[in-house]
Chains A and B, each alone.
Chain A
Amino acid sequence: MSGDATSASATPLDASGGGGSARDIGRRLLITLGPIVVSLVLAGCVLLVLGINPLAYYGYVVDRGLLSPLGLQQTLTRMAPLLFLAAGLIVAFRAGMWNLGGDGQFLLGAVTAAASAPLLVQVLPGWLTLVAAFVIATVVAMIWSLIPALLRAYQGVNEIITTLMMSFLGVSLANVLVKLVFLDPATTVPQTRTLPVEDRLPRLFETTVTSGLLFGLVTIIAVHLMMTRTAFGLKLRVVGANPRAAVHAGLNVPLLTVTVFALSAGLIGMGGAVDIVGIQGNVRADWNPAYGLAVIPVVFLARMNGFAAIGFVFLLSVLSIGGESAARRLGVPQNFTMVLVSIVLITLAVAEYLDHRFNQARRA
């Protein structure tokens, strides 16, 4: 009887394991794209309630974010910092560490880059200034993640809470720094010194798209390959998928934890630097684009896959650039972009759940 049980349990696996990979991909597409369509309809209903024609809104967003040349260039430029953020979050999430402190790390990176670059450029060659700004932003963001990292690694303190708290502090600290320490004495509005346009990251070809986009693309692909193809990435994924197995296999989990936080925050800090030395040129007081929170759902939608994340970051950029224009033209609040993204995330979770139930029912 026992022998039968073994072969019986192996046979159905054999049957289901073989064929059907094309159908599998089809199903994946369906449970990814289906919810997005459903979300567009649901968000459309919200717009209807606001008295706005959803088709007009969507048309306007697509036109301004994607189809008009200027809009497309803005969209691609917006992608640069977002890709760094996504890369940072992928490292953390794949290792099972929920670094939700992206905004604080991003802003501190941005502020220190904005404070140092205009000063450094007076004594250093342009390219070295940019490198130095990147390094400074990276290190500052890493330092900001150190407390949550150490608490998680050695005391088991939940990093969701600590990173969020540190993020509030980081955002406030960044503001204080802009208003009190890094203030540009030449202007009346509180902001940092401005990096001259000619000293910023070069633009691509004849467009206004920053070359930071390329750095972002290279970074997120490198992170993806690191997580999937290297021993280090595998170690991080073991820690994320089963921490007890990591201990059993002899991995140094505390050290890996601190490393993950440093990498994640460092990448996010780089995102701050690229936004400053590539796009903004300075930081105004009370500036907080809250990219960190916007990118989190995107990374989930991409299932922490770097390539998929590029696609979803592009989508988010289209939505946010188009949404910003639509906000001005149609009077839809700019936050509606986030409403749309959240609806997508919720419907996606529901789809996942239904798919799971359906699979279980089929197996039973």
Chain B
Amino acid sequence: MPGMQTTTKPPEMRQAIVTLDGVTKRFPGIIANDRVDLVIRAGEVHVLLGENGAGKSTLIGMLSGLQQPDEGRILIDGKAMPIRSPSHALSLGIGTVFQHNMLVPSLTVAENLALGGKWWQKPRLGELAARVDEIARPLGININLDAVVSDLSLGEQQQVEIVRALLRNSRLLILDEATSMLTPQGIAELGALMRRLVERGLAVVFITHKLGEAAEFGDRVSVLKLGRKVGEIGPDRLRSLEHDELVDEIVSKMFGRNAGDGAISIPDRPANDEALLAVRDLRVLPGKDTSGLEAISFMVGRGEILGVAGIDGNGQKQLAEALAGQRRTDGGSVTLAGRSLDGLDVGKRRELGLRYLTDDRLGEGTVGTFPVSINYFLKQIGEPPFWRSGIEHSREINTHARDLTRQFDVRTPSLSTPVGRLSGGNIQKVLIARELAEGARAVIFNKPTYGLDLANTQATRQRIRDVAGQGLAVLLISTDLEELLSMCHRIAVMSQGRLVGTIANGAGAGERVGRLMIGLAA
């Protein structure tokens, strides 16, 4: 608990080192940060809490000079100051320890710390040792300068990175997902270290998606959700709340309703609601850096929307890919309307009516440099009537593409515009048009509204409801609990490659799913 407050100034009087003022950042097809305001003060551990995709990394990218905001200002010591580059950020006193280790494993600690000096000077290792000692000793960090980095534990490597940031006279230290690879012991040590750093007047920004750490280490907690800042809990309130109350409050901010969220509307089930998509004991072995799947079983009926909730990266993508035939499975069976899909490839499964709308619209969903018209038919290359005897029939393609563009309200300058030039909402409409093409029986939507603006989010959600209304089975994977609550009949929760529970949507379902998502009992 942040009980060891030694700074005498009241919290809101502490000096603001960095202020974000209405900062917005867009990427092709995605709004990563939407008018975020943030004040980072000296002497505070400021926790940025949010799920993957909430916009934390982009925010750090802008603070560390890797990216420039599209709108809004960044103020340093109260003066507007664009952070032009990572080295500029360092010279402004902003040091960042990234999630993934940035040390050279084959060099010694001393050599790593000396990197980035003037290239024409020989590193003065003696001087360095004295400075490291001066910085590390009061913080209780023990650093062996002669050790080769690859021999150090991850926690030790992180300490080296923190020292490296402090060597550059950082006033603001950003720790990006710093605990993700640490042992519980290492996490506790890092917490204590952060406390000592802020006692010495530094500001620390601590990024995490783990609630417990936020409550334990933070002086101030800002909650990000889908690129927007949805709440901030100041030091006074943080101290006055009991741990459980605090967790409840943060949960409600992370998963709670926002103004402007669509109304709840769950489509009626058709009279004939037999099971369409059935999955039994699906299993995928974990890969080098992907999680696996273990004993996944569920059923989706005609006209049913089954939601899959969970913190991002718990196997949702693997599940979608395994169902679509894109990923090899290591056991289990999938049937669609009584027909087994086992052993069939992507094309066959699509033909039988299983459709997969990917969450990675530009990365795998489309070929960005190809025209919109071709992207509609990317999964039908070679099929009549668009290709006959292997020869492309442009007129057929363009006629159908024009129909789809009108039907799905895709706003594009022309059919020959490269699809990568469209906005995210319009790319999504192209994908939806493609997956819903005739013959669809079950559709997997993977994070269908991720990165879309409000209007397109609403339109997409309505489209999904319509799909279910037509009697198709829908599997809706989303990290946005509110979205699932607003349209699903049932919600399954995924955690570490398993389904840890399925909850019928209704009163109180949000709380129960939310607790399952963060690893508590429902």
Contacts and interface: CB of A to CB of B under 8 A. Distances in A.
B455 A17 contact: no
A232 B387 CA distance: 10
A14 B413 contact: yes
Contacts of A245: 363-367, 378
A247 interface: yes
A57 B392 CA distance: 48
Nearest to B348: A250
9 contacts: A13-B413, A231-B382, A237-B370, A238-B367, A241-B369, A242-B363, A244-B363, A249-B378, A249-B381
B411 interface: yes
A230 B390 contact: yes
A6 B360 CA distance: 20
Interface in B449-475: 453-457
B353 interface: no
A300 to B, nearest CB: 17
Interface in A240-286: 241-242, 244-245, 247-252
Nearest to A250: B346
Interface string B409-428: 00111100100011101100
B364 A248 contact: yes
Interface string B354-375: 0010101001111111100010
A10 interface: yes
Contact of B387 (A231, A238, A241): A231
B453 A249 contact: no
Given A10-B411, A235-B381, 9 more contacts: A1-B454, A7-B411, A229-B392, A230-B392, A231-B392, A234-B381, A242-B367, A244-B363, A250-B345
Contacts of A249: 346, 378-379, 381
A1 B456 CA distance: 12
Interface of B: 31, 325-326, 345-347, 350, 356, 358, 360, 363-370, 374, 378-379, 381-382, 387, 390-392, 411-414, 417, 421-423, 425-426, 453-457
Given A244-B363, A245-B365, A249-B378, A13 B421 contact: yes
Interface in A64-123: none
A10 B456 CA distance: 13
B364 A18 contact: no
Nearest first, the 3 A-B pairs at minimum CB distance are A250-B346, A17-B413, A2-B453
Contacts of A2: 453-457
Contacts of B412: 10, 13
B364 A235 contact: no
A9 interface: yes
A241 B368 CA distance: 8
A1 B454 CA distance: 8
Contact of B423 (A6, A230, A237): A6
A231 B368 CA distance: 18
A6 B455 contact: yes
A232 B366 CA distance: 18
A5 interface: yes
Nearest to A5: B453
B22 to A, nearest CB: 12
Nearest to B425: A6
Interface string A293-317: 0000000000000000000000000
A223 to B, nearest CB: 15
Most buried by B among A2, A237, A238, A250: A250
Contacts of A17: 413-414, 417
Contacts of A13: 412-413, 417, 421-422
A3 interface: yes
Interface of A: 1-3, 5-7, 9-10, 13-14, 16-18, 229-232, 234-235, 237-238, 241-242, 244-245, 247-252
B390 A248 contact: no
A245 B358 CA distance: 10
A6 B364 CA distance: 23
A247 B364 contact: yes
A250 B382 contact: no
B421 A6 contact: no
A1 B325 CA distance: 39
B423 A9 contact: yes
B347 A250 contact: yes
B28 to A, nearest CB: 10
Contacts of A231: 381-382, 387, 390-392
Q: Which of A17, A229, A232, A234 has its CB near the most chain B CB atoms (within 10 A)?
A: A234
Contacts of A16: 413
B72 to A, nearest CB: 14
Contacts of B417: 13, 17
Nearest to A241: B367
A235 B421 contact: no
B333 to A, nearest CB: 20
B169 to A, nearest CB: 34
A238 B456 CA distance: 28
B455 A3 contact: yes
Contacts of B368: 241-242
A284 B350 CA distance: 56
A250 B455 contact: no
B216 to A, nearest CB: 36
B454 A230 contact: no
Contacts of B391: 229-231
Contact of B325 (A18, A250, A251): A250
Contacts of B382: 231-232, 235
Contact of A6 (B345, B378, B453): B453
A16 B412 CA distance: 12
A234 B393 CA distance: 12
B225 to A, nearest CB: 15
A17 B414 CA distance: 7
A52 to B, nearest CB: 40
Contacts of A5: 31, 423, 453
Contacts of A244: 360, 363-364
A230 B456 CA distance: 35
A349 to B, nearest CB: 19
A17 B370 CA distance: 15
B381 A248 contact: no
Contacts of B421: 13
Nearest to B456: A6
A251 B346 CA distance: 8
A18 B413 contact: yes
A234 B374 contact: yes
Contacts of A6: 411, 423, 425-426, 453, 455-456
A286 B208 CA distance: 65
A5 B424 CA distance: 11
Contacts of A9: 423
A7 B392 CA distance: 33
